[in-house]
Amino acid sequence: MKKAVFLLTTILTTIFFVSCTNKSEEYIDPRGTDYAGSESCVQCHKVQSEMAFHSSHFKATAPAILGNVSGDFDSKNHTFIYDKDTKLVMEKQGDSLYQVLYKNGKEVSKYKFEIVFGTKHAQTSVYWKNNNTYELPVSFYHSINNWATSPGFPADKPYFDRMVVKDCYACHSSNVSSRTVNQSSEDKNFMSMDVEDAINKKTIVYGIDCERCHGPAKKHVDFHLKNPNIKIANSITSFKSLSRQQRLDACALCHAGNDGMKLKSRFDFKPGDNLSEFFRETRSINDTTNFDVHGNQFRLMAQSKCFINSNKMDCITCHNPHENASKNMASYSKICMSCHQGLKHKETTLKTMPEKLLADNCVECHMPKKASNAINFQLSNSKQLSSYILRTHKIGTYPSTKK
């Protein structure tokens, strides 16, 4: 019986995926008929599509199928020990992946990896329970190439009750629909409120896709399919026509932290919209707060003299929006030099690094890597908190680390 259900689901999923990749008229986007889906863009925008499909944006959330999940499931590093009786083991069973809880050597429960969040530095996963998703207690971190506690989770006992709410999806996916339902009263852990959002699994559009940044594009696609000789873009917002603030807002939507008072859902944002209509400003642009390096590139950049005094720096000055951040630091130096021609460092600075080397490494000294205070994690059998390290976007002069 179970097998039959499994087979049926497999067939249905296959049909679903096949129909998704079909470029034909039949594709129905969960966001509605204004949307065409990313697959439809490839035929006319091959360059942007091939880049973007491989980017971290497209992988910001994904179904937790083999190949999408990072980390070790069968050899040495797949066990997290809470205490001498309690351990959590990452296990592969058939085509599915689980975090399996053992007490005194006996399996007590297991939780299936269903959706993964993140790809570049770390990956956390969720399982489904009562139409909602809950974070698994152990995540994978590339910096240590190992499993450790999910951010903020305890290292001395397993915890499975942290709901991953719609807000997470609003920055990590392109669509999630939910409806408000009466929470079953059986759930004793459920505090005060008796209503809660239920996420409709079928409506999830994984990752940050073309139309998440460019807005609904079905009309654009239909127009250009009918008028193949017209080479001027129709029915799509051009970033070139936007003001600097509008261009910044299109990135700041997800890269400016999460402490504003929400007025509208992030999912409703389209390029050209003003972010001030989505969040009540709680911070002035002159704010001197030490913003965290995690998730707040916009506010850190906005504190830099480069940003304030150039009147033109935005995210696209340094990033191709369809590609990941470059690993080639010299390429960023070229961008710095386009505004800082004829720059002279002091003799004392040049003593620490010869001018030729310095010219390729502006970023190492002026945008150093910093530990996040918001995110930290603990390894199995360790009391020590490890921190999450990202490059600061506050361009400035920092005390040198080596003497």
- Shortest Å, Cβ 303 to ligand HEC: 9
Which is nearer to ligand HEC, 120 or 264 (by Cβ)?
120
Could you give the C-alpha distances from 104 to 72, 110, 399, in angstroms and in order?
23, 15, 51
CA distance 94 to 73: 12
- Shortest Å, Cβ 72 to ligand HEC: 17
Which is nearer to ligand HEC, 31 or 294 (by Cβ)?
294
- Shortest Å, Cβ 121 to ligand HEC: 4
Could you tell me if 123 and 139 are in contact, meaning their C-beta atoms sit under 8 angstroms apart? Answer: yes
Which is nearer to ligand HEC, 92 or 391 (by Cβ)?
391
Which is nearer to ligand HEC, 317 or 376 (by Cβ)?
317
* Partners of residue 180 on adjacent β-strands: 197
Which is nearer to ligand HEC, 102 or 224 (by Cβ)?
224
- Shortest Å, Cβ 339 to ligand HEC: 3
SS3 236: coil
Which is nearer to ligand HEC, 31 or 393 (by Cβ)?
393
- Shortest Å, Cβ 137 to ligand HEC: 12
- Shortest Å, Cβ 336 to ligand HEC: 3
**Closest C-alpha among 60, 89, 80 to residue 206:** 60
Could you tell me if 297 and 288 are in contact, meaning their C-beta atoms sit under 8 angstroms apart? Answer: no
**Closest C-alpha among 139, 148, 91, 97 to residue 119:** 139
Could you tell me if 130 and 187 are in contact, meaning their C-beta atoms sit under 8 angstroms apart? Answer: yes
CA distance 73 to 46: 36
Sheet containing 86-93: give its strands across: 79-83, 86-93, 96-103, 106-112
Which is nearer to ligand HEC, 102 or 169 (by Cβ)?
169
- Shortest Å, Cβ 288 to ligand HEC: 13
- Shortest Å, Cβ 126 to ligand HEC: 7
Q: For residues 174-192, b (16+ Cβ closer than 10 Å) or e, as one string?
A: bbbbbeeeebeeeeeeeee
Could you tell me if 300 and 394 are in contact, meaning their C-beta atoms sit under 8 angstroms apart? Answer: yes
Which is nearer to ligand HEC, 102 or 293 (by Cβ)?
293
Could you tell me if 255 and 298 are in contact, meaning their C-beta atoms sit under 8 angstroms apart? Answer: yes
Using alpha carbons only, give the angle 105, 64, 12 rounded to the nearest 5 degrees. 115
